[in-house]
Structure formats: C-alpha cells, structure tokens
Amino acid sequence: MIRRLFVLVLLIIIGYFLGTAMASIPFGAEKVDVGPYRSVGNYYVDNTVQETGGVNAVTSIVVLYRGFDTLGEVTVLFLAATGLAAILALTRERRKLKKEKPSLIMRVGTDYLFPAAIVLGSYVFLHGHLTPGGGFPGGVIIASGFLMLFLAQWRYKVDELGLKIIESLAGMTYVTIGLIGLFKLGTFLGNFLGKGTPGALLSAGIIPVIYIVIGIKVGSEMTGLLQNLRETTENE
C-alpha cells in the first residue's frame, strides 16, 4: 500500500514537471528559430543534397551531421553484446533441454532464404545513401540470416575468433576514417572524399564507407550474440 502511494506521488511529481516544461512551448508553434527556415527539419530537407551529396537525408544526418553520435551508438551496441557474453559465460546452464530435429521445411527454406538475406542485408547497407536503410538494419538482416541457419542446422558454428577480428577491424576502420577527417578538414568524421554526383552509387563521400563498416560490425556482433545465446541453451 505504502509502495503504491510512493509510486503515485512520484508519478504526480514527474507529470507536474513534464507538464510545466511542455506548457512553456506554445502548441503548434515552431520550436527552433533557424533564420529563414521555419524549423531544423526544413533546413535539412532544403540543404542536405547540396551540402553532403547524399540523396537520402536521413542517412546524411546520421553519418555526417551527427556522425559522432553514431559512433556512440555503435559503442553502446558493442558494450551490450560484450556484457551479455560475460554474463552468459558466468552462468553456464546445467539443465538438459529437449532437442527437436529441425523440420524439412525449415531446412530447405533456409537453404533458399539464407543467401537472399545476406544479399538483401548487403544491399541495404551499400545503398544507405541512396535508398532507405543503412548500416544498422543491414547488419541486423544479415544476422537474422545467420539466425535461420542456427535454427535449421544444429551443428553449424561460426568461427568466434574470426567474428571478433572482423568486428574489431570494422570498429577500428570507423575511428580511422574519423581521424583522417580530423587531420584533413579539422572536424572528426569530416567528409574528405568529396560529394560526387548525387544519386550515383559512389557519391556522398564517406557515407557508403561508414555504412559498410557499420553493417559488417553490427552483423558480426549480432551473429556472435545469437551464437553465444544458442550455445548456452543447447550445450551439456
């Protein structure tokens, strides 16, 4: 009872402060004044193509305008995967679990879907600057291809050391590209490769390079994570 009262009081306090903060912004009015543009969003819509050469404004923002934040996101994912691996290594499960053979449909379907998943994932991160997508979803699509493989074939294993090496190399490449930008242009992750023709595959400078790196990194990280989970589930 006293706990519920405590929660209620806490909710009222949070609600009060959120309410007062929101009340100071007039409803429907433009929140940020950026000169001739009515809002920050309009600025990006109008200027992204000239400033970055990337046709997809979303990925231009993610990689160029706020590339440093994206490096932070990649780090968060890396730390989460490492933390999970550490926890799983500490608590090796001894319980025996029933194994069922994967069905024929699962096995045959995976044979056809696995290459498709890899190709789709690579497409999504290679064309991040042209079409919707980017490194994170591309990497996750590749990892889900590996998930299908794990489900359909009990004995299949990915070389864990190889995954870690690929992942570390990708992370190092990201930072190196950022440092090259720092030395050449004076800003971390500066676009030192030029803009190219907007809409061409090789355009928008470092966006495709960064997205290839992120795609490979996220894909190998997620695959390693799934393999870790699977092993602690099915061993013993």
Partner 1 sequence: MAPFVLYLSLALAILMIVGAIVVVVTKDLLVAVIASAVVDLVLAILFYILQAPDVAITQAAIGAGLTTAIFVVVLRKTERFEDD
- Name the site residues for partner 1 (rule: CB under 8 A): 56, 58-59, 93, 97, 124, 132-134, 136-137, 140-141, 143-144, 147, 222, 225-226, 229-230, 232-233
3-state secondary structure of 189: coil
What's the min distance (Å) between Cβ of 121 and partner 1? 9
**Cβ atoms of residues 179 and 188 within 8 Å:** yes
Min dist. Cβ of residue 143 to partner 1 (A): 6
Q: In the complex, what is the shortest distance from the CB of residue 139 to partner 1, in angstroms, rounded to a whole number?
A: 9
Nearer Cβ to partner 1 (42/176): 42
Q: Which is nearer to partner 1, 59 or 220 (CB)?
A: 59
Residue 196, SS3 per DSSP: coil
Nearest CB to partner 1, comparing residues 136 and 174? 136
Instruction: Determine contact, residues 62/73, Cβ cutoff 8 Å.
Output: no
Looking at the Cβ atoms of 120 and 209, the one nearer to partner 1 is: 120
Cβ at position 56, least distance to partner 1 in Å: 7
Token pair 């800003």: residue: 187
Q: Please report, to the nearest 10 degrees, the dihedral formed by the alpha carbons of residues 223, 229, 231, 236 taken in order.
A: 180
Output 193 or 222, the one with its CB closest to partner 1. 222
Report in angstroms how near the CB of residue 205 gets to partner 1 at its nearest. 19
In sequence order, what DSSP letters do the residues of 125-145 get, joined into one string?
HHTTTTSS--HHHHHHHHHHH
SS3 37: strand
